[in-house]
Structure formats: structure tokens, C-alpha cells
Amino acid sequence: MSDSKLTLYSYPTANGVAASILLEELGIPYEAVKMSISDADIGKVHNQVKSPWYLELNPNGKIPTISHNGFNVFETSAILLYLTAEFDKENKFNFHPIQNPKEYSEVLQWVFFSHGGLGPMQGQGAHFLHASEKIPYAINRFTTEARRVYSILEDRLSKHEWIAGGKYTIADIKAFGWIRRHGLVEIDLEKEFPKLKAWHDKIDARPAVQKGVKIPA
Ligand SMILES: N[C@@H](CCC(=O)N[C@@H](CS)C(=O)NCC(=O)O)C(=O)O
């Protein structure tokens, strides 16, 4: 590990906590900057995700972002992969791409699955469920898709203790950020997805996770 300055720009949402949980699990020093993600703050608040200074770090204008010795990384999963490559030399939360290519691929597959499926479907489901204008087609489309994605994870966890590679990895951390917010799409985890609930509770009990979900304070 180099002498490094690491800053996390975030907010404790489903995406934000994936980055802070991993940082806490890695136990590396970092500074957390709380961003405003509210449309009402655009143009008014300095730490706003659409501020010109922030768009220099993250052209997509969303959280999370990390800045490591002046190198910026945006997109949650790219952050998880960067942090494990840079700071997890013992491969506690990922696998070495050359030494364990199959396990590494498995982690990538499930990280991408959550990044491209779980997050967007649940995010849109929550958006349309809680929007002032109720569009039944959109609500049904995205909440049904979110449930379908949950059922794939439920099936996976009925055959494996962890999502990928036989151990707790960034594939679990990435999915956990979203699964812990199942209430946003009115999913009853205990009743509908008992294996996911047991997996969720195991991760939730980890001290680093307890800390990570509250960052930035
Ligand atoms: N694909 C992006 C999604 C990030 C994202 O949607 N962040 C939300 C909070 S969870 C955000 O910053 N929203 C504020 C906005 O869209 O203005 C990632 O994984 O980093």
C-alpha cells in the first residue's frame, strides 16, 4: 500500500454504502465527503453532485466517487474493483485475476449482475412506486423485474453460502447495498426470500458493515 490520500464522495444510499462498507472492511484511512443528491440543492449547495467541480471527478454527476492520490474512479462496481486491486493484497474480498481466474470471473459476473440488473430494476421500481404520478405499467414492470432478480439471488443462495467464489466478496457487498433497501420496492424479505434474508442478516452483523452503512455521517 502506498502513502496515499483517499477521499470518498458519497451519501449513504444503496450505491454509496457499497463503497463505504468495503473501505471499512479494508480498514484503510480515508476521508468521507457528504454530497447532496437532491435536485432541490442544484446550484445552491457546494457539495452537490451536479456541481461543476464534482463533474470533473465524476462526469455522471452521481455518488459514489473516490479520489486516490488524484486519480478518480466513478461507478460503484469500478470503485469496488479498484479498491480490491489496490488495497486488498491478500485477496480477502476478491480473487487474484491470474492466480484464480475462475473465481475472479465468478465475482465479476455477480458484480455485473447487481450493477446492471439488481440496482437499475430496484432503483426504477422505487422511483415509480414513490413518484407523485402513478404509472401502473412502469410500477409493475420494474417491481416485477426486481422480484425476478431477487429470486435469482435466492436460488443462488440456496446452493451457496456466499454469492461468488465460496467466500464473502465484493459480489456480496455490491448486492447487499440494494437488498438492505428491499422495503423501497415493498418486498418482504423474510417471507418472500428467506435465504436472502439469512444472508443479509449475516452481512449486516459485521462490524465493518455496521460502520459503513452510516458513512458519510
Ligand atoms: N451506476 C451508478 C449509479 C449511481 C447512482 O445512481 N447514484 C445515485 C444515488 S444511489 C445518485 O447519485 N443520485 C443523484 C442524482 O442522480 O442526481 C453507480 O453505480 O455508481
Using alpha carbons only, what angle is made at residue 177 by residues 175 and 181, rounded to the nearest 5 degrees? 110
**Pocket-forming residues, ligand 1, beta carbon under 6 Å:** 13-15, 37, 49, 61-63, 75-76
The rounded Cα 29 to chain-centroid distance in angstroms is 20
Whole-number Å distance, alpha carbon 161 to ligand 1 midpoint, is: 29
- pLDDT of 3 reads 61
65-68 and 31-34 strand pairing = unpaired
Instruction: Report the separation in Å between the CA atom of 191 and the middle of ligand 1, taken as the mean of its atom positions.
Output: 29
- Nearest protein CA to atom 2 of ligand 1, as residue: 75
Dump the DSSP string for 58-83.
-TT--S-EEEETTEEEESHHHHHHHH
Q: What's the pLDDT at 1?
A: 45
| Closest ligand 1 atom number to CA of residue 37 | 14
Task: Give the model confidence (pLDDT) of 145-182 as tens digits.
Answer: 999 999 999 999 999 999 999 999 999 999 999 999 99
pLDDT value of residue 39: 87
Confidence of residue 8 (pLDDT cuts 50, 70, 90): very high
pLDDT of residue 4: 80
> Which atom of ligand 1 lies closest to the CA of 75?
20
- 20-59 pLDDT per residue, tens: 999 999 999 999 999 999 988 888 889 999 999 999 999 9
What distance in Å separates the CA atoms of residue 172 and residue 163, rounded to the nearest whole number? 6
Q: What is the pLDDT of residues 104-136, one digit of tens each?
A: 999 999 999 999 999 999 999 999 999 999 999
